[in-house]
Structure 1
Amino acid sequence: MTASPELGTPQTATPELFKSVFRQHAAGVAVITAQRGGRPAGFTATSLNSVAAEPPLISFGIGTGSSSWPVIAEAEYVGVHILGEHQRELAAAFARSGADRFGPATDWHPGPEGVPVLDGVLAYLVCRVVARVPAGDHRIVLARAVAGDPAGAGRPLLYHQGRFNALRD
């Protein structure tokens, strides 16, 4: 085992420290969508996780202050879209507060279970929500995949150091 270089003196875990540490963690970028009363909602998520293959379960976090939370809080089904490196603008639009996320600049169509499905993504799943677990000022949503398509083309979009990035060769 090789010794690692000295990192410094540990600091007390504050929200700022926590955010600084996770800026070092590269994460895939997804957009979560849902619909309520004919109105689509969605947000950019970097907290998407594969939980289990049998049954096929995913999880993601959402802040209860998010404009999308009221729809996600009641949705029976959600769409989970894996974004490609060509979709930085889409990721930014779904991350920006007050943006017209489903306006003319967004190509989408109604998918299985009426879930808004974004066009041009690397892959997507439609999932039935099975639990919403309180976690501080967020909720962890657990959902079971019921349909999807892995056939999109391209390379994944990543989030690192507060920016959307592409993989390097």
Structure 2
Amino acid sequence: MTVTPGLASPGLATADLFRSAFRRHAAGVAVITARGDAGPVGFTATSLASVSAEPPLLSFGIGTGSSSWPAVSVAEYVGVHVLGEHQEGLAATFARSGADRFAAPTAWREGPGGVPVLDGVLAWLVCRVVGRVPAGDHRVVLAEVLSGDPAGEGRPLLYHQGRYHGLGD
């Protein structure tokens, strides 16, 4: 076993260390939506990941304390929306707690399976939830892509160092 100098003993990192390290990791920005008993719900996610092409599977994380978690915890279908750099305001709206995320100026419609589909995004997908894996104070949701539209134009919105950014050349 190799011991790294300055590392007295392996232990758990602090939440501050973890957050600080991941602030340096640029991530694409997506909005996840679902139909809830009291209406549509949604949240901004930077944890979207491709899992498999055959079958087409993706994953995202959601905190169990999130206002969207009660709906996502039982939803059969979710919407996944890849945001463009022109949609910083939309990302901020869906990241804000207590906001009516589906009020004007948010443009949306009901899509397949009753899933709220946002207008003007780079791509949207409707997915069937196939698993919810406990991961600390979050759940990793696994979902199979059923339909969608990748026809949006533009460049992706990124999240880095606690702020939204466009993709630089």
TM-score greater than 0.5 by the shorter chain = yes
Once the two structures are superposed, the pairs formed by residues 149-168 of structure 1 within 5 Å of their partners are 149-168=149-168
Structure 2 residue 47 is the aligned partner of structure 1 residue 47: yes
RMSD (Å) for aligned C-alpha atoms:
1.4
Once the two structures are superposed, the pairs formed by residues 116-135 of structure 1 within 5 Å of their partners are 116-135=116-135
1:128-148: per-residue Cα shift (whole Å, max 9, x none)?
A: 000000000000000000001
**What is the CA-CA distance between 1:13 and the residue it aligns to?**
1.3
Tell me the residue number matched to 1:5. Answer: none
Tell me the residue number matched to 1:60. Answer: 60
Tell me the residue number matched to 2:110. Answer: 110
Structure 2 residue 53 is the aligned partner of structure 1 residue 77: no
1:88-121: per-residue Cα shift (whole Å, max 9, x none)?
A: 0000000011111000110000011110000000
Corresponding residue SS for 2:168: coil
AA paired with 1:99? A
Corresponding residue SS for 1:60: strand
Tell me the residue number matched to 2:22. Answer: 22
**Preserved contact between residue 37 and residue 71 of structure 2 (Cα < 8 Å):** no
Tell me the residue number matched to 1:148. Answer: 148
Deviating beyond 3 angstroms after TM superposition, the runs of 4 or more aligned structure 1 residues are: 8-12
1:16-50: per-residue Cα shift (whole Å, max 9, x none)?
A: 00000000100000000000236000000000000
Structure 1: 5+ residue stretches without partners: 1-7
AA paired with 2:88? R
Corresponding residue SS for 1:13: coil
Structure 2: 5+ residue stretches without partners: none
Cα distance in structure 2, aligned partners of 1:65 and 1:163 = 22
Structure 2 residue 101 is the aligned partner of structure 1 residue 87: no
Change (3 A) 1:23 1:10: farther
Cα distance in structure 2, aligned partners of 1:33 and 1:156 = 19
Aligned length: 162
Corresponding residue SS for 1:74: coil
Cα distance in structure 1, aligned partners of 2:49 and 2:95 = 18
